[in-house]
Amino acid sequence: AYNWKLKKVTEAVASTQGKVLTYDEKPIDASFFSTSNGKTENAEAYWKNEIPYLKSVSSKWDEKSPKFQNKKTISVSEFQQKLGVTLTQQAQVGQIVERTPGNQVAKAVINGKTLSGRDIRESLGLHSADFTWERQGEQIVITTKGYGHGVGMSQYGAHYMAQAGKKVDAIVKHYYKGIQIESADRFLNTYMAKK
């Protein structure tokens, strides 16, 4: 199976040779990640800057990815220590009060402390910032959907789109909104002329 995948990747790369993805006539930052939660994320919902071609789009193919869903169990004490919070004795962990356009957690409130979904994801080492949590005694079970930051192109989404017969152009234009696919020559000449 590995050789077949390698051959497919090699063919895909070869088909993009001499081409560059542009937005507003400038090469794009083609960010990508493993698996979406069914949608990609707006750039500004995860990073600070809004990037016009990095907008939330549907990516329903990702449900077939082996990395689509994950469960992680953390002790209450580790959870408190890593997030700098104190849980009450009740069964509740905290409220998820806001979600992003890509359905990830934007903000959660844990016993009065507000945290971003990204900070929770990074502090606890979660697969994504699309999570739900449940307290079970002295353990907290966190279920995540998707794998990665969610901005740009989903690798599994692109893989399943290609399997369904979609061409490279259609795939990149789905994930990077409003881009053009141009010949790299124009850019190479510009860069070479500057030396």
Question: Residue 100: is its pLDDT beyond 90?
Answer: yes
Mean pLDDT of all residues in 101-123: 96
Q: What string of DSSP letters covers 15-63?
A: HTTTEEEEETTEE----EESB-SSB-B-HHHHSSS--TT----B-GGGG
Report the pLDDT value the prediction gives residue 92, as an integer from 0 to 100: 82
Report the pLDDT value the prediction gives residue 191, as an integer from 0 to 100: 56
Report the pLDDT value the prediction gives residue 83, as an integer from 0 to 100: 97
Q: Distance (Å, rounded) from C-alpha 95 to C-alpha 28?
A: 37
Report the pLDDT value the prediction gives residue 20, as an integer from 0 to 100: 85
SS3 content of the chain, % helix, strand, coil (to 5): 35, 30, 35
| Mean pLDDT score of the chain | 89
Report the pLDDT value the prediction gives residue 154, as an integer from 0 to 100: 95
